[in-house]
Amino acid sequence: MYIGIPKESRPFEYRVGLSPAGVEILSHAGHQVFVEHEAGAGAGFKDHDYERAGARIAFSAQEVFGRADFLLKIARPLKHELEWLREGAILGGFLHLASSSQDQIDLLLAKKITALAYEQIEDANGGLVVLRPFSLICGAMVAQIAARWLQTNRGGKGIMLSGVPGVPPAEVVILGAGGVGASAARAMQNAGAHVTVIDKSMAALENIHEKLPGVVTMMSTQRNIARATAYADVVVGAVLVSGQRAPVLVTRDMVRAMKPRSVIIDVSIDQGGCVETSRPTMHDNPTFIEENIVHYCVPNIPSLVARTASHVFLNSAIPYIIEIADNGIESTIKNVPSIEAAVNTHQGKLLNLKRLNAQEVSE
């Protein structure tokens, strides 16, 4: 199979669709891999690293897209990139099509592209096995992001997460006890903050309670969310419903009731966001002020540690990539439930996906 790895075109996306180690695995299996010039530069991988692994270097994105039977991306391609794909090609990436524009969906369907959403690949227990390592990275980074944007010079309240003797620590409220939420709770607790985790699943809350003694757990109700966000110095949105838009749990009225210059970190923004006042931002200008609250809404937080993220992605995703490359997409969909659950478009049909309303989409 011809496999393409283009350079990521979205701003501040430094990760790459596959590391040289992954290319070596595919090359040894008899597949031809085309890597765009400097595709791995942001993650510290040089062209000659890919060449030594068996890849051929291509000097235009259009060539990589056009040659590929199976295109490996991180972020969702832009519309003009989708036009370069061959009819019937396979596209793998963290596609988040629930929050994409309709014209992109229409193009995928018209070209009969098989769109494989890595964020929806499930293991035998229903765990999001490829997304989870990135969730852990996001959660771990949330503490340092919060500490930075609580600083006075960043527009925050001017408080420390840990507090100091005689001064209490910051109050952190985390919405969601999944991969991101649990990782964020651990990082925040290690940083010395007082942490509350809210979720609708008792099993998830029991897991937090057992593994992180001292973290407060609460059931997800509108009343509890309103009460907790009102005293929070930091609110972390870590909500995910696979294949769907993130539910809006924090209303504008709740944001308005928060203490001035508190911080919201909406990690759910790649699925539309779980805070009504959220909108996507980028790493060069990651925050905005709404209702006198600092909002941090960057969709690709793990891109800031691109090399680590690229290595951890290989560890989790390569078995599924090899399965498709070796056996083809039709056989894989039929025989591998983990992949079947993650296919969003195939043969001109929309699958495993609940679309947003027109006013809620983004490119």
Which residues carry out catalysis?
96, 270
Give exposure, 303-319, as e/b (b: 16+ Cβ within 10 Å).
bbbbbebbebbbebbbe
CB 352 within 8 Å of CB 341: yes
Contact partners, residue 309, CB within 8 Å, separation at least 6: 15, 43, 134, 137, 302, 303
Helical pair 202-211 and 179-190, crossing angle rounded to 10 deg: 30
* DSSP letter (8 states) at residue 164: B
* DSSP letter (8 states) at residue 151: S
Give the start-end residues of each E strand in the chain.
2-5, 32-36, 56-58, 70-75, 90-94, 114-117, 171-175, 194-199, 216-219, 234-237, 263-266, 287-290, 293-296, 343-346, 349-350
